[in-house]
Structures are given as structure tokens and as C-alpha cells.
A and B are shown apart, each in its own frame.
Chain A
Amino acid sequence: MMDEDFPTDFQVIVVGTGMVESIVAAACSRIGKNVLHMDSSDHYGGLWASYNFEGLQKFIKEVNSDPDRQKQVYNLSEKWFIEKESAQGETTDENKGEPRKVWSQADFAAEYRKFNIDTTPKLLFSRGPLVELLISSNIARYAEFRCVTRVLTWLNDQLMPVPCSRADVFATEAVGIVEKRMLMKMLTSIVGYSEEEMNNEFKDWNNKTLKEYLTHKGLTPNLIHYILYAIAGGNNSLPCLEGVKECKKFLMSLGRYGNTPFLWPMYGSGELPQCFCRLCAVFGGVYCLNRPIDKVETKTVDEGKTVVTIDSKSKKLNCDHLVIGVHECPEELMSSEPAESCDISKAVFVTNGTIMASEKEPLTLLRFPPLADDDNAVTVLEVGPATGSCPKGLFVVYFITKKTKDAESDLKPYAERIFDMSGGDQTAATDKPKCLWSLFYNVKDTSSPVSSVVDNVHVCSGPDAGLDFDRAVEQAEQIFKKICPGEEFLPRAPNPEEIVFEDDVTHGPEFQREQDEEAEPKE
């Protein structure tokens, strides 16, 4: 609650706590700007937020009851596959000797806090811009990460592991011996290309697809499948050079932290905007949740400077720069250039087991090639209790694809391939995990950058359908550069122990410099 002597003038006001907004807020605050960061909800993250189970139920209710919300999230449909109340006691699974819990809806409600379900689940490339940013700014210490343990694909009607690293290629039995050589050769050459060499090697392939290139190189269909769908994450029409760059991105991130190129934040992707908010606050940023805005105006004051004024709950707030999420921004401030967009189809499932057995609890990225001709590729992320996403015994599985028809029609056929969606006896032995709960929804694609009609209003895009945060980081940096030209983008923030006060007082014992260079993901 803002009281009477709360300041009303800021250098930067940020509206919305999505990823782009939060990075910008942190960057501005870090270099000394006076920042106010607001959000109309009672929680952080906006469209990038994560919810516990109760919070998610609330989200679903809100969306379904508010047509305005449905401009962003629509076709929302939730389904239970389990009983409302618990049956008597637990049944012991004879084979495992461990009690296999029979879940009821009431159980979910009782353990609601143990769920952290993302509306925008994403992975981090180990050598990608976000990880580098987290390290260079030292924001990494606000979060913990786990390694994605395996990458899978759907091949020959079954789940198959994708050999990505040298050790994988060596050990896999799914690939013939000469194929192994071809695969390694292709992967090593892709990683080895410098920017110049790459443009040179592929200059004759500008109008062709990656698939055509791989075929031309004599790779067998299986290998093409692995490289095209699983490693490059593309489909048949992926242009050649773009595909090769995607491969290189994947391969370069291998081995930094684990056997796959990816990290997943503990407690979900929704943690990340919060990390940036935290840094913003540390450097003096002011935070206000539950603060919707009513009106935005621009005013030219003396010396030709433009000031932005926000009306919020009868307070007038002024700033030099307004950073605002695309969903909060009044339409009249946005330029009406038609942007290319393709809405996103998403789904979340809670299941009672992993899609493919594994010794230790897995963290899986599954890339489905399109099952039907007109389909898009589907990305699946399976996370388990060790990531803090759900209670023990369950898994949370996310599906993402570009919308063709609607979320349920787009994604159900894929879900049915890997889950048992028949409901029924949870203890029955099946080769697929049982789906206990599902949620389908579509998200309007607001990921294209939007320019505003005023110079000092900066519009932040929403989430894209991609796997990583790269676009968000890129956009945040661009916005920051406009607001603070010539300033450093998130320079390393010192650890508290590193701060030595220069006083005329006798110095105590020297503080030790902390050695940590990198965020350490939990094994």
C-alpha cells in the first residue's frame, strides 16, 4: 500500500514482472537508476509465472471468468483422471515392495504447496546468453539449477534416447557402426565451424533445407531424424543455415554442466524473473504488487523532455522511461504494424511415473517430430519431484507447440502416445505412466517486438514458443541500451562478503575473496 509520502517520481517505472520487464528493471537499478517495479497481480512473473496447485486453480478460474484475460490465454480446459476422495489406505505394489500411492484430487489439494507449475516452462542452454548473463551479473547465486539428464525423440513409434555427446554415440545400440562415424563426423564438423567458415560452407544452400543438406551428405534416415528433430529441434522445412546454427548452439552447450546442453531452474522457470527482481530490489528498486494501472499519458515538459505519467489507484506516478509488458500497454501507445505471429498451444500434465524408465530420477527433454503432415514439432519437458515441481511419486510434463487448431486437438495425439490417459486403476502395471490431471490452453503470441509510438515507452514482448529465454534476454538488453545508452548491462554485483568499507576506523581481519565463478547446478 502506498502511503502519502511515497515518492511519485522515478527515473524508470516498470509495469509487469515478466521476464523481459524484470531483466530491464534489474539492469536499470543496478547502474543506479531509480526504479519502481509494479504488477497488477498478487504474484510475480505475469505470463511467465509459476503456481502451486491452489494458485493454478485460481488462475484457471480467473481466466475462465474474465473475457479480458482470454485475450491472452484461451481455450483453457482442465480435466481430472482420478477420484475426488482417497480410497481406503494404500496399495502395495508387489513388484517394487514400495507402496505405490493412489492419488485423489483431495491429495492434490492437501499437497498443493509442493507443486510449482510453470505457465511458461523453458530451458537454459548451458552456454547460452541467459546463463552467461546470470554468471556475469552474479545473479546466479539467487537460484539453483538441475541438469537435464536426457534428450529423447519419437522414432519408429517409440521413445528413443538421442545420442548427443561422444559418450552417448559410443554407447548407443540404436545406431549402426558406420552411422556412428557419420554422426560424429557431422557433429564435430558443425561445432568446428567458425562464423566465417559456416557462411562459406553453406553459401550454396541458402534456399534449401537442413534435411536436404543432410540427405546430400549421405546420412541415413535415422541420423537425419536425430539431427533435424532432436538436436536442431526443427522440422522438414527448417532452412539449412538456420538449422546448422541451431545444431551448433546445442552442441556448444554440451558437457559444460552435464551430458545434455540444458539446465532447468529448481522450482521452475517462474523463479527466474524473481531472481532479477531480487537484484533490482537489492540496488534500491521499489516493489509494488497488486497495483493495476488505469491510465498512461505522456507529457512534454520544459526543455522538450517527455515525461510519462501513470494513474494508478488515484496516485499519479511520473517517470522518464516507462517499461511496460505488452499485455498491460494501452493500445494507443503501440504502433499498429502487423507482426507475424503464431499462437502457442500448451498443455500441462501430472502423471504418476516417468515416460521412460531410468536409474536415477530423470529430467527429460523430448522432441516429437510432427506426427501428421500439417503438424508442427512438439516440445515436451518432463520434470520430477527432485526439481521441486511436484510431490514425491509424481511428474509434471509440459507440452509446447505452435498452434494449428487448438491446444487440445494439437497436443492430445502426442500425449496419448506416451501416457495412459484412460484413468482407472493407478496401481495396474502399465508400460506408460498414468495421466492423473491435464490442462490444455492456448496463449496469444506476443513475442514479436512491438515498438511504441513514444520514444520513452518501451514495450516488452510476451513469451515465445521456443525452448529457451534467448529472445527475452536479447530484447531486455536492447531496451536497456535505449534507456541507458553507453552503460554496462548488468555488471557483476559483488557478494556481501566482498564489500569492504573504507573508513578511518581500524580495519578488522581481511575478508576473503569468494572464488566462485559459476553457478553450481545440483547433481
Chain B
Amino acid sequence: MQKIQIKRKECTLDKELLELTGNVLSSNPDIYTLWNIRRDILQLFKKSNDNIEEMSQVYNAELHLTEYCLKINPKSYCAWHQREWVLLTRDDPDWQKELELCNTYLKLDERNFHTWDYRRFVVSQCKPSLKDEFDYTTEKLMDNFSNYSAWHYRSKMLVELYPDRKGGRPIEDSHHKHELKMVQNAAFTDPDDTSAWFYQRWLLGAVKTTIDLVNYTVTPTKNTFAFSKHVDKNYVSAKTKLLINNCVVNGEWVSCTGNCYDVLWIFQHSTPITKKINIKVEYEIDNGQKQIIQGVECKEMFYIGKNQIKFERNYSEAVIEELKDQLESCRQLLNLEPDSKWTMLTTTIFLHCIDAKAYHTEAIQNLQKLKVIDKLRAGYYDDLIAKWCIEKQLCSDYENADLALKFSFPSPVSSLPYLQYYSYCDSVDLSNQQLTSNIFPSLIVLQHCKKLSLENNNLTTMKNFPDLDLVELNLLGNEKLDRNEIELFTKKYNFNIIY
């Protein structure tokens, strides 16, 4: 090794150095530096050598070395990378040979993700028939469906090969159904094999989604716009127009957190907001159509526009039928194996996907059961419970004109998704949950909140409390909070703090 280092320092990048590094790498392929040196040497050779045949041989020798190293360690990042480099550098790459190499390696170990990754690289270069690649994954899965890489690769092919152009969905119906059936076969043959379940979750999530403007609040002091997903400034300013008395208002968009992407945007303009004016927002959706959201004066000079919201995924009839079918089988399987975590979870997700409203109670009960069966992931189930309960509550809250928010959960929660949907609320009651101080940053979206109650939670510190325009903050029942810290906090802000 010393010799190598000396030579490198002296910049004698020659055949001898190639030999030395080759010998060392043959016993230990994972010394990244040596591969680096070799690349330097090869590049030097290329510069000073016009002979294509000679360079070809040099490259072939390099490939040979990588193959040897891969025999020792088929998961060597360095060796695979070197191979990739050679293929990209040389003028005469043989992609077919590379594809065959992948096939050979995948025969030896069909689950080596390095090989699958390399395959993606090769495919991106030589572009063989996607259908052939897709069929290859089928072949591999038929041999052994316990193969996360194959399912993953398949998902990439599926979306490229069979998109639903007419319906605008990522996957065409009959294929979506076929995949759901295939993955169900895997899941039932061996419910403990997680790769199938993950693919199924992906399939269920492979639907068209939209970015919605969910609400806006216009007051003399602040104008906030809440979105269903994180968006950037260009998106907001292009798609959203505020109209006061039918005149477009010009202004500046500022994210409420200061980040590039945000769910809550603040619109700064100089048009005065008074009583009884006509406030409208024009929001451009996917197909170029414009939604008009009418503002309602809920309090004096306090205008709120709430959009139609829905959380149901947009499945086609055919897929819903398939899901109902599979739900039946899941129920049968649950009868046989009531403690099977994956079956229970999938049943629950199916219920939610088919009809979240109708099956809400059953789904939540299942999630409670899952917390017991699958103790290690109790937190995940808790978050899911919070999410689905808020979704349900949002649907009814958006129908009424209430400005106060109080959550009703079956048991205390520790996470609060969708808070931006409630950005218009002036009174927010988050008491009697299991919130920790980690919740603070997300509270920034409660831009119009005046009264906030965090009574009876698990707060430990006041650090990172968001800059809100509060009148009252209730911190009672948070035993771990340090009195001194609260006192300092009180001095900083001039709103009423109960503790």
C-alpha cells in the first residue's frame, strides 16, 4: 500500500500502479481510493492513446477485475460503480452483455439490490423493450415473490407501460386490477412476507392526486391561504387570485414558515379590508379550470372561504370492485388468523379506501386492536388514528361556520396532521391529548388563533414556540414544564398565559 501511496503522490500513474492497485483490490474490493486511482490512470491512458482497440482491451481488463471483485463481494458499491464508470467512459460499450451479466447475477441472488440498480442503469442507457423488462420481473416473482427489488422495479415499469391516459390515472384499470390480484396471491400465500404488502400499499396509493386550496382567511391585518400539500411561491402566485369586489388584488406571497415550500401562505397587499365587501378567490386546478371560492364574513371584517374538501382516493369503479372482493377474502382470512397483523392492517386500509365514512368506526377499532397485536408500531397506529379522525371531523367542520376548533378523538393523540385546514380558527382547544413540545413548529399555521389551550398534555419546554398573535395561552396540567422557563416566556410575550 505504501508503494501505491508514494506513486500516487509522485503522480506516476502507470501500468505498475495499475497492477499494484489491482492486486490489492483482488483481495479487498472495497478500498474506494484505489478505484479512484485506477480511474485517474485510465483517463490518462485515454488521453495519450488514440488506438481504440488498445483502449478497448484496457477497459475489458478493468471490467474483468470488477467481475472478479464481485465474485468476492457481490455487494461491493465500489466494484459496481467502477463498472458503471467504465461503461460510460468507453466508446464501445456492450449493453447487451451488461444486461446478460445482470441476468446471471440475479440468477445467483435475485435479491441483490445492487444488481437491480445496475440493471436500471443499463436499461436507461440501452433502452430495451419495457415490456421485456416488465416480463422479467414477472419471471423473477414467479420464482420467488419474496423480492422487494423486483416489486420495486416492477412498479417503475408499470407506470411507464400502462398509464391510464384517458382517465388521467397513473395505472390503467385492467392492469391495476391485475396487479392487485397478483399481490393478493403473494400476500395470502405468505402473509409474513412484507414485500408484497408494501407493493400493495403502493398500488393503493397509485391514484391521481390534486393540490387543493382548502381555505383562505382575509382580515384587515392578515390574509392566509391554506393548501392540501406543500407548494412553492411560483405555484401559489400563478394559480391563486384574490378578488375584492371583483377586482384582482396584486400583492406579495410569503410563506408562513419562511421555507420555499409551505402549506400556508400569507398574501401581503395594500387593499383595505372593510365590512360587507365581496371577497372571492379564483383558484386554477389541474385541467386549467378555475374554481371560485366565495368568502363569507363570519365576524366583522373577518372573511373565510372554505373549499370543498375530500380525502377519498379517486379509484375507478373497476378498482373499487376489486377492493371489495379482496376485502371479503381478507375478512375470511382474519377469521382463520385473527392475530395476523398484516391481514388486519390491510383489511383496515381497504375499509378506509372503499368508504372511509361508512367504515370509520370499524377502522378505528381495528387500529386499536393493531396497537395491541403489533406493539412495536403502536405509535404508527396512533398517528393513523389521529389522521383518519381529523379527516372525518374536517368534513363536518367544513360544513359549519364554527370558528372554534375542538378535536374529538377516541384516545389522546400525539400528532396533529392537517392543522392548516384549521388556520381560520380563532379558538383552538388542544387539551387532554398527549402532545409534546415537538408539536410547536406545526402550530405556526394557526395564524388567526387568539385562544390556544394546551392544557393537560406532555409539554416539557417552551422552546420553539411559534410566533402567533395570541390573546390567551393555557398551559395548565403540563407538569414537566419548568416554571422559570414559563416565567421568562411570559415576559417575552404580552398575552395572557395560564399555568
CB atoms of A167 and B185 under 8 A apart: no
B333 contacts A181, C-beta separation under 8 Å: yes
The reply to whether A184 and B189 form a contact with Cβ atoms under 8 Å apart is yes
A178 touches B142 (CB 8 A): no
In the bound complex, how far is the Cα of B272 from the Cα of A225, in angstroms? Answer: 82
Determine if B228 is an interface residue (Cβ-Cβ < 8 Å). Answer: no
Cα distance A185–B192 when bound, in Å?
Answer: 11
> What is the distance, in angstroms, from A388's C-beta to the closest C-beta of chain B?
27
Question: What residues of B have a CB within 8 angstroms of the CB of A166 in the complex?
Answer: 144, 189-190
Q: Are A167 and B329 neighbours in the complex by a CB distance under 8 Å?
A: no
Within residues 142 to 178 of chain B, which ones have a CB less than 8 A from any CB in chain A? 142-145
Which residues of A sit under 8 angstroms from B333, Cβ to Cβ? 178, 181
**CB contact list, B286-342 vs A, under 8 A:** 329, 332-333, 336-337
B186 to chain A, nearest CB (A): 6
Interface size on B, as a range, is 10 to 19
Contact count band on A: 10 to 19
Q: Which of B175-205 contact A (CB under 8 A)?
A: 184-186, 188-191
With contact pairs A167-B143, A167-B144, A171-B142 given, residues A180 and B336 touching in the complex (Cβ less than 8 Å): no
Q: Is A170 an interface residue (CB 8 A)?
A: yes
The docked-state distance in angstroms from the alpha carbon of A180 to that of B333 is: 10
Q: A170-B185, A170-B186 are in contact. Are A178 and B144 (CB under 8 A)?
A: no
How far is the CB of A175 from the nearest CB of chain B, in Å? 10
- Chain A proximity of B366: nearest CB distance (Å): 19
CA distance A76 to B160 in the complex (A): 64
Q: Residue among A166, A182, A218 with the most chain B CB within 10 A?
A: A166
CB-CB under 8 A for A178 and B189, given A167-B142, A170-B145 = no
Determine if A371 is an interface residue (Cβ-Cβ < 8 Å): no
**Distance (whole angstroms) from the CB of A183 to the closest CB of chain B:** 9
* Cα-based distance from A343 to B233 in the complex (angstroms): 89
In the complex, A177→B326 CA distance in Å?
9
> For residue A185, which residues in chain B have a CB less than 8 angstroms away from its CB?
336-337
Within 8 A of B (CB), among A164-198: 166-167, 169-171, 177-178, 180-182, 184-185
- Judge whether B143 and A180 touch: CB under 8 Å: no
Query: In the docked arrangement, what's the CA distance between A218 and B329, Å?
Result: 16
CB <8 Å contact, B336 and A184: no
Residues of A within 8 A of B329 (CB): 177-178
B74 → chain A, closest Cβ, in Å? 20
B190 near A177 with CB under 8 A, answer: no
CB distance from B177 to the nearest CB of A (A): 14
Task: Give the A-B contact count at a CB cut-off of 8 A.
Answer: 40
Give the CA-CA distance A180 to B186 in the complex, in Å: 9
Q: B185 is contacted by which of A177, A182, A218 (Cβ under 8 Å)? A: A177
CB distance from B425 to the nearest CB of A (A): 47
Interface of B is mostly: helix
Q: How far is the CB of A75 from chain B (nearest CB, A)?
A: 45
Question: In the assembled complex, which residues on chain A have CB atoms less than 8 Å from the CB atom of B186?
Answer: 170
B143 neighbours in A (Cβ, 8 Å): 167
A167, A177, A180, A184: residue with the most chain B Cβ atoms closer than 10 Å: A177
CA distance A178 to B185 in the complex (A): 9
Which of B142, B185, B337 is the most central at the interface, judged by chain A CB atoms within 10 Å of its CB? Answer: B185
The smallest C-beta distance from B179 to any residue of chain A, in angstroms, reads 14
Residues of B contacting A178 in the complex (Cβ-Cβ under 8 angstroms): 188, 329, 332-333, 336
CB-based contact B336/A177 at 8 Å: no
| A180 partner residues in chain B, CB cutoff 8 A | 185, 188-189
B190–A184 touching, CB < 8 Å: yes
Q: Is the CB of A170 within 8 A of B189?
A: yes
CA distance A185 to B143 in the complex (A): 19
Chain A residues with CB below 8 A from B185, complex form: 170-171, 177, 180
Measured in the bound complex, the distance between the Cα atoms of B143 and A180 in whole Å is 17
User: What residues of chain A lie closer than 8 Å to B144, measured between beta carbons?
Assistant: 166-167
Residues of A within 8 A of B188 (CB): 177-178, 180-181, 184
Note all chain A residues with C-beta closer than 8 A to B145. Answer: 167, 170
Task: Tell me the smallest distance from the CB of B110 to a CB of chain A, in Å.
Answer: 12
Whose C-beta in chain B lies nearest to the C-beta of A179? B188
Complexed CA–CA distance, A184 and B340 (Å): 15
Q: Determine the residue in chain A with the shortest Cβ distance to B181.
A: A177
Distance (whole angstroms) from the CB of B344 to the closest CB of chain A: 14
**Inside 8 A of A167's CB, which chain B residues have their CB?**
142-145
B187 vs chain A, min Cβ distance (A): 9
Determine the chain A residues whose CB is within 8 A of the CB of B142 once the complex forms.
Answer: 167, 170-171
B139 to chain A, nearest CB (A): 11
Distance A170 CA – B189 CA, assembled complex (angstroms): 6
Which A residue's beta carbon lies closest to that of B335?
A178
* Beta-carbon contacts under 8 Å, A16-44 to B: none
Nearest neighbor of A169 in chain B, beta-carbon distance: B189
Closest to B184 in A: A177
Residues in B with CB closer than 8 Å to A170 are 142, 145, 185-186, 189
What's the least CB distance linking B296 to chain A, in Å?
Answer: 51
How far is A166 from B145 in the complex, measured between Cα atoms in Å?
A: 9
CB nearest neighbor in A for B186: A170
- Complexed CA–CA distance, A381 and B271 (Å): 91
Most buried by B among A170, A178, A218: A170
Minimum CB–CB distance for B192 against chain A, Å: 10
CA distance A171 to B142 in the complex (A): 6
- A149 to chain B: closest CB distance in Å? 14
Known contacts A170-B142, A170-B189; A182 and B336 CB within 8 A of each other: yes
Shortest beta-carbon distance from B307 to chain A in Å? 41
- Of residues 189 through 244 on chain B, the ones whose CB sits less than 8 Å from some CB of chain A are 189-191
Q: Is the CB–CB distance between A181 and B184 below 8 Å?
A: no
Return A454 CB to nearest CB of chain B, in Å: 57
Residues of A within 8 A of B336 (CB): 178, 181-182, 185, 218
> Closest CB-CB distance, B342 to chain A, in whole Å?
12
Among B184, B190, B333, chain A packs the most CB atoms within 10 A around the CB of B190
Interfacial chain B residues near A184, Cβ < 8 Å: 188-190
Query: In the complex, how many angstroms separate the beta carbon of B137 from the nearest chain A beta carbon?
Result: 14
How far, in angstroms, from A501 to B337 measured CA to CA in the complex?
A: 64
Give the residue name and chain of the B residue nearest to A184 (CB).
Answer: B189
Chain A: minimal CB distance from B107 (Å): 12
Q: Which of A145-172 contact B (CB under 8 A)?
A: 166-167, 169-171
C-alpha gap A180/B184 in the complex (Å): 10
Contacts of B190 in A (CB 8 A): 166, 184
12 A-B pairs whose Cβ atoms sit less than 8 Å apart in the complex: A166-B189, A167-B145, A171-B142, A171-B185, A177-B184, A178-B188, A180-B185, A180-B189, A182-B336, A184-B189, A184-B190, A218-B336
The 9 nearest A-B residue pairs measured at CB: A181-B188, A170-B189, A178-B332, A177-B329, A180-B188, A177-B188, A169-B189, A180-B189, A184-B189
Q: Which A residues are closer than 8 A to B by beta carbons?
A: 166-167, 169-171, 177-178, 180-182, 184-185, 218
Q: Assuming A167-B142, A167-B144, A180-B188, what are 11 further A-B pairs, CB within 8 angstroms?
A: A166-B144, A166-B189, A170-B186, A170-B189, A171-B142, A178-B329, A178-B336, A181-B191, A182-B336, A184-B188, A185-B337
